[in-house]
Amino acid sequence: MLSKGAGAFVELPPLSCGAISGAAAIAVDESDSALGQVLLLGGGNQFGTSTKSVLLVDLATGVCTPQADLLYARSNFAAARLPDGGIVCAGGTYGRSTAEMWAAPVQGALEAAWTWRGLHGTSVVCRYCGGCVLSDGRFAVIGGWSTGLCPSSCKVLTLGGNEHWSPLPPMHDSRASFACAAVARCIIVAGGLVAGGRSKSAKVYDEVLGRWLRLPHDLPHDGELLSMSSALL
């Protein structure tokens, strides 16, 4: 864990749930725990099988408490927290064309337990794709891998009463297993796997301009990065 203002990472206790890979980690907004909590969604178990599990992890102790399962087993998928606190997931291994959201079952029902519900799926969602929420609240799913690299096209899911998928301008190249983040009305993707092999390049989608731009500098590493995660400071 790298804390705000700290100069180095510190090691945390191991997860009580055991080994896991390809899960999505979503921070939990709370102030009671010593070091904070995260939700671990899906992921592969020690046998490499994708799961539906949702675990609440206490970072100070590593204790993993089971929560309501996902509707679909999935790993290496796109996931993000929505402005209202909900969580949306799409794609991944075994869940490639499906999407689901964790939200209150009834609008305005403050005491009701939040549950997972299915969303409209799309045939172009793949595994090892990127996901983030745009400034207008739409959920973007970018790139990925199917039997080969997925098309460079990107799609966004509009939620609410008019739920539907619509296209974003395509990236300059197909890409999978990359870092992805949304900030300042932009989507930034970096590294990952492209048609020519591993990539050091970084691209940015400008919501105002409505197009992708290549950043002038590659990642500052001797070797390319693949299957890494990312977080905003």
Q: Note the pLDDT of residue 105.
A: 66
Q: Note the pLDDT of residue 121.
A: 80
65 band by pLDDT with thresholds 50, 70 and 90: very high
Question: The domain at 70-214 falls in which architecture?
Answer: 6 Propeller (2.120)
Report pTM: 0.89
Q: Rounded distance, CA 210 to CA 69, Å?
A: 36
Q: Lowest-confidence range among 17-26, 60-69, 223-232? A: 223-232
E strands within 59-138?
64-66, 78-81, 87-90, 99-103, 115-119, 130-133
Domain boundaries, the chain: 70-214
Q: Rounded distance, CA 139 to CA 103, Å?
A: 14
In this structure, what token pair is assigned to residue 127?
């595994």
Q: Which residue has the higher pLDDT, 223 or 77?
A: 77
Helices and strands (H and E) in the chain: how many? 0, 18
122: closest CA among 104, 97, 143, 145? 97
**Percentage of the chain exceeding pLDDT 70:** 91
Distance of CA 39 to the CA centre of its chain: 12
In this structure, what token pair is assigned to residue 91?
């794609």
127: closest CA among 230, 196, 43, 17? 43
